[in-house]
Chains A and B, each alone.
Chain A
Amino acid sequence: MTALELETNPTKMIDARGSFCPGPLMELIRGIREGQVGDILAVISTDNGSKTDIPAWVDKAGHRLVGVFTHEGYDEIVVEKLK
């Protein structure tokens, strides 16, 4: 695995590289369940579906999508837990 260079400084990083859909989303959901309101969670995913599935889930679940950042070989999807 390559070293990670992130755009953000999250409270928690979820390294889901190598995991396929719905793995990264399920990892984020676990992070949200275990985290505190205000936490920033960054999901690192190599699965293309995460870029669409995670923002759609964040919208439905009422959290905030901080951003989706594309790096070489992986995406960084950053979410703030709002409730």
Chain B
Amino acid sequence: MQNVLVLGGGVGGTLVANLISRKIKKQIDAGEAKVTVVDETGEHLYQPGFMYIAMGNEDPKSLRKPERRLLDDRVDLVIGKITKVDEETSQVELADGTKLDYDELIVSLGSRILPETIEHFEDEAHHFYSEEAAAKLRTALDSFTGGKIVVGIASMPYKCPPAPLEVAFLIEAELRERGLRDKSELHYCSPIARAFTIESVSEMATPELEKKGIELHTFFNVETIDPERKMVQSLEGEELEYDLLVLVPPHKGAQVLMDSGIAPEPGGWLPTDHKTLNVGGREHMWALGDATDLPLSKAGSTAHFEAPVIAERVSARIQGRTPHPKDSIYTGKVMCFFEVGDGKGTLLRFDYENPPKPPKPSRLWHVGKLFFNKTYYRIVPKGRGGTIEKRL
């Protein structure tokens, strides 16, 4: 019996498990192989929807589904907290003492946010990286009557790189609609030399920031928050006063991977081969999604395009064949929508070799993003996304 163990029931883990179970269904039905997903909660979350709790009246209930309903019947689901990955015994240990054997281990444990690592963050700053935080930001925006809003990024890397820019654009549009724009200042803080890591996206976003009167502060790495003076201060010595502070919290990889000696300190990102998605030269360990150290967006879309590569490689090994060359190399493909406010959006589509060429912002891509959000559960985790992607 070959055990394929998938850690994490997010988009990457769910999709890769479903794809593998389809490819090796004969081996599963014959009792020669088994695919198991281990997830801490048993509940799948559509995290990109959090931003729309804050900015678009999204119903939080629509963002959650039982993981079991998304998995193929041939995939087993174990709900439990992972406490150790033991490479010597090829076992994963859970908090209740269960030990799960693996022959192939696929790690899709995502990233975690650590707002508490910046003093006063939790009391002073808002964010939109959890359901609760996004709802709290919505409440703060509802009671905002004018003043200074600072949107920024506490540290890199973080999930969904366009999100803070999108939030700045959406807040600006909302303030105009509510007649508060003249009474408000908007500031956008980027830790690097430009508005966005990818130059072509910066070239699209920077004129939009200027057009909308959002002041861009580059090289602003958040150092401290002064709650008494309502100031956010950068390592570079700049400080900005705020009435409403929205910051992307610091992110790290899963603690259990750091504790197990697989993901190095301080970030906890898995050293992952850019093309094969193999972890640190370990023949039987794979990674996808936010958990990797790849120089790409930490986004569901990244996991979506990585999953077929791992599925092909792992299935080929179980079936004793050579992986299909076309399907077993990850090219760095990522695709995501980007809101610019006023009901308009654009599309970022890129890979390792080809930077994005965002089309002129239009209503099409905004509607495309809303459509994708509404249809995610029907297409992506179950592996039906290819047809949608080909049409774009």
Chain A residues with CB under 8 Å of chain B are: 19-23, 25-26, 29-30, 32-33, 52-53, 56-57, 60-62
Can you list 13 contacts pairing A with B, beta carbon distance less than 8 Å?
A20-B295, A21-B192, A22-B156, A22-B197, A26-B191, A29-B221, A32-B235, A53-B193, A56-B193, A57-B193, A57-B236, A61-B236, A62-B237
Of A33, A52, A53, which one neighbours B235 at CB under 8 angstroms? A33
Q: How many A-B residue pairs have CB under 8 A?
A: 35
CA distance A60 to B192 in the complex (A): 11
**Are the C-beta atoms of B193 and A30 separated by less than 8 Å?**
no
* A-side contacts of B155, CB under 8 Å: 26
**Are the C-beta atoms of B156 and A61 separated by less than 8 Å?**
no
Minimum distance in angstroms from B290 CB to a CB of chain A: 16
Closest to B223 in A: A33
Closest to A25 in B: B192
* B-side contacts of A53, CB under 8 Å: 192-193
Ranked 6 nearest A-B pairs via Cβ = A20-B295, A61-B236, A22-B192, A60-B219, A60-B236, A53-B193
**Are the C-beta atoms of B219 and A57 separated by less than 8 Å?**
yes
**Are the C-beta atoms of B295 and A19 separated by less than 8 Å?**
yes
CA distance A62 to B155 in the complex (A): 19
Chain B residues with CB under 8 Å of chain A are: 155-156, 191-193, 197, 219, 221, 235-237, 266, 295
CA distance A19 to B295 in the complex (A): 7
CA distance A33 to B118 in the complex (A): 13
Closest to A47 in B: B295
**Are the C-beta atoms of A61 and B237 separated by less than 8 Å?**
yes
Of A22, A32, A33, A56, which one neighbours B191 at CB under 8 angstroms? A22
**Are the C-beta atoms of A30 and B266 separated by less than 8 Å?**
yes
* B-side contacts of A29, CB under 8 Å: 191, 221, 235
Minimum distance in angstroms from A29 CB to a CB of chain B: 6
CA distance A21 to B236 in the complex (A): 19
CA distance A33 to B222 in the complex (A): 12
Minimum distance in angstroms from A37 CB to a CB of chain B: 14
Closest to A20 in B: B295
Minimum distance in angstroms from B356 CB to a CB of chain A: 15
